[in-house]
Amino acid sequence: MTAFINAQDEIVTDGLLGLLRSGRLRNVARLEGFPHTRVVVRTDHDAHQVAVISGGGAGHEPAHAAYVGEGMLTAAVVGDLFASPSTDAVLAAILAVTGDAGCLLVVKNYTGDRLNFGLAAERAKQQGLKVEMVIVADDIALPEAPQPRGIAGTVLVHKLAGYLSANNTPLAEVKQRVQHFIQHLGSIGLALRTTDILGQPPRAYQSSPELGLGIHGEPGAEKVSIKNASHAISLMIERLEARFPEEQGELIVMLNNLGSVTPIEMDILTDAFLQTPFGQRCTLLIGPAPVLTALNMYGISLSVTPVTDEVKAAMLAPVASTDWPGAYSPVEPQVIESAAVSSDEQWASESDEAVAQLVRTTCEALVAARASLDELDSLVGDGDTGSTLAGGATAILQALDDGLPLKSPDKLLSVFSRVLGKSMGGSIGVLLSSLFTAAASALAKGETFPTALEEGITAVQTYGGAKPGDRTMLDALVPAVTTLKEKGDFDAAVKSAREGVEKTRHLEKAGAGRSSYLRADSLKGNPDPGAQAVAIVFEALQPLVNGKLD
């Protein structure tokens, strides 16, 4: 099983029934005739208003069926995955919802859709109905293309047409205004990976990211090399600027998730877009959201149109569809002063090259181990131990450059606690912060360094709930510190830390952390990444300490 489906020939029917049974759509119904005729219609449509009908192949959810409702579509006709619905299905939709005001068909510019919707329109006209059709061709990937594809901007056309209908605009005028809007609409897509067809073997992914993809997995206009999210956005904007030069002024923009991009990535891309000069022209943003997808394509698209009063009003108008993401005016984040930040104790910078070298060596060892610790953690946890520790180490290195109280061990550990508390996420940041806070207090009372570390370990056990044998960093830290306190021999402490790591390989059950949720076969043979990190630090410091601890 490679997808959550029941059977290949039931995918679209089951999906539509799930949508309808979920209760997300209000005042909607399906026409009889499943599975050959898949049509979703409004039950509250006023026949004195223009009906707006759209559709096409499935696989673009939530488009088009989820947009059936007051303020958007009157009906949606759904074909098989990435395949146009039949002429009969389109005609059934027209006959079901078209009254005296007539209907407008919104069709994406693909041959199958044009043919089937066009023929259905002609047959409906033979029966005396008023039917008009507009073709959406918003893809700007190939400027010289004689037949640009209809992609995500189609949903913005739905929104405008639905708004005009709700305001009792006559059919001829609806068509004219929508056609004008289409002529001033442009979209561009970019994907890191193409799409798979549900229930079929995975497609061979393109060897590199592509710019200007269609919404059915068609190859892009060009292969591109992408450095990061900001660079991806810049490549898209480069195409859009040619179509929407600065003299056109303010813009309405939709940022669409083509299927598999995670929400945090969509927010990163949004931030990257809005910080560009082109993005700063955006006065109304739709998304980021999956508005018109391409199954599981790992990509995004941007749809752009100049601001007009009518289009802005249309995009802001409320609709019944809960899948319409809404339109919002971008803002600069407000910043409110934090009492915790403003009350931070300041420390004096004190120079001590030997201590600085110890700090630098420790942090650089953790930064260098980032990838290996992440890989190890991916086997027994959530794969971020190395990244989390490297982030904390990098923050301490920055603090070292800014100046630390290197001659005052208790103050130094207090600074470590605060820096790690701010820079490290997850439980390990809090635990290390607790360790250094307790150890700093012990040093301030005159305790030795090994004893201070012991008190720090006690704090970790108290607040974290773990103990040696639970497959955590304590399995290396406790024996190392115990050896250090009893023998005062750093070489022996290093050996104890490494032995503690090796013991975790044979522990088939974890008592704390995310590893505690895993099966024994996932743990056996793999050392705990936290314990491994402790051993890495001790081993990195070994040449500097050189045997006996002063």
Judged by DSSP in three states, 546 sits in coil
- CA distances from residue 66 to 29, 100, 385 in whole angstroms, order as listed: 12, 25, 41
- CA distances from residue 485 to 437, 479, 492 in whole angstroms, order as listed: 19, 10, 11
Instruction: Pull the structure tokens for residue 532.
Output: 């491994």
Give the single-character DSSP code of 275.
Answer: T
Q: Using an 8 Å Cβ cutoff, are 352 and 523 in contact?
A: no
Judged by DSSP in three states, 494 sits in helix
Name the active-site residue from 36, 216, 231, 506.
216
Gap between the terminal Cα atoms of the chain = 62
Q: Which of 486, 392, 469 is nearest to 435 (CA)?
A: 392
Cα gap 209→466, rounded to integer Å = 45
Is residue 27 left, alpha or beta, with left meaning phi > 0 and alpha meaning psi from -120 to 50?
A: left
Helix (H), strand (E) counts: the chain: 19, 13
The angle at the Cα of 299, spanning 298 to 305, to the nearest 5 degrees, equals: 160
* Beta carbons within 8 Å of 192's beta carbon, 6+ residues apart: 209, 226, 298, 299
Cα-trace Rg, the chain: 31
- CA distances from residue 434 to 19, 343, 415 in whole angstroms, order as listed: 49, 19, 12
HSE-up (13 A, CA, CB side) for residue 216: 14
Q: Using an 8 Å Cβ cutoff, are 323 and 26 in contact?
A: no
* Beta carbons within 8 Å of 331's beta carbon, 6+ residues apart: none
In 290-420, which ranges are E strands?
298-306, 327-328
SS (H, E, C) 113-178: HHHHHHHHHHHHHHCCCCEEEEEECCECCCCCCCCCCCCCCHHHHHHHHHHHHHCCCCHHHHHHHH
Cα gap 530→21, rounded to integer Å = 47
Instruction: Answer yes or no: 36 catalytic.
Output: no
Residue type at 145 in one-letter notation = A
Count other C-beta atoms under 10 Å from residue 273's C-beta: 26
Residues with active-site annotation: 216
